[in-house]
Amino acid sequence: MLINAEESQLVLVDFQAKLKPVMLDAEAVWSNAAKLSQLAAALALPVWGTEQNPSRLGEMPPELRSHCRQVMAKMQFSAVEEGLVEWLKPEPPQALKGNARSLPRHLQKPQGGPQERNTIVLAGCEAHICLMQTALDLLEDELEVWVVTDACSSRTERNRDAAYDRLAGAGAELVTTEMVAFEWIRSAEHPDFKLLQSLFK
Residue-wise pLDDT for 128-185, tens only, equals: 999 999 999 999 999 999 999 999 999 999 999 999 999 999 999 999 999 999 999 9
Distance of CA 95 to CAs 1, 36, 103, 135, Å?
A: 35, 36, 12, 32
CB 87 within 8 A of CB 110: no
Residue 201: per-residue pLDDT? 83
CB 47 within 8 A of CB 13: no
Task: Report cis status (omega within 30 of 0) of the bond before 126.
Answer: yes
Q: What mean pLDDT is predicted for residues 15-34?
A: 96
Q: Is the overall model pTM greater than 0.85, yes or no?
A: yes
Kindly write down the DSSP assignment for every residue of 99-130, as one continuous string: -TTTS-GGGSSPPP-PPP--EEEEEEE-IIII
Q: What mean pLDDT is predicted for residues 3-23?
A: 96
CA 69/CA 167 separation, integer angstroms: 26
- What superfamily would CATH give domain 5-88+115-199? Isochorismatase-like (3.40.50.850)
Residue 36 banded pLDDT, cuts 50, 70, 90: very high
Distance of CA 61 to CAs 71, 81, 104, 177, Å?
A: 11, 24, 46, 19
CB 13 within 8 A of CB 138: no
Per DSSP, what are the bridge partners of residue 11? 48, 122
Residue 114: per-residue pLDDT? 58
Residue 90: per-residue pLDDT? 79
The predicted-structure confidence for 73-113, as pLDDT tens digits, reads as follows: 999 999 999 999 999 997 766 655 555 555 665 555 555 55
44 pLDDT above the threshold of 80: yes
Q: Where are the alpha helices (DSSP H) in the chain?
A: 26-42, 54-57, 62-65, 84-88, 132-140, 157-170, 177-185, 193-199
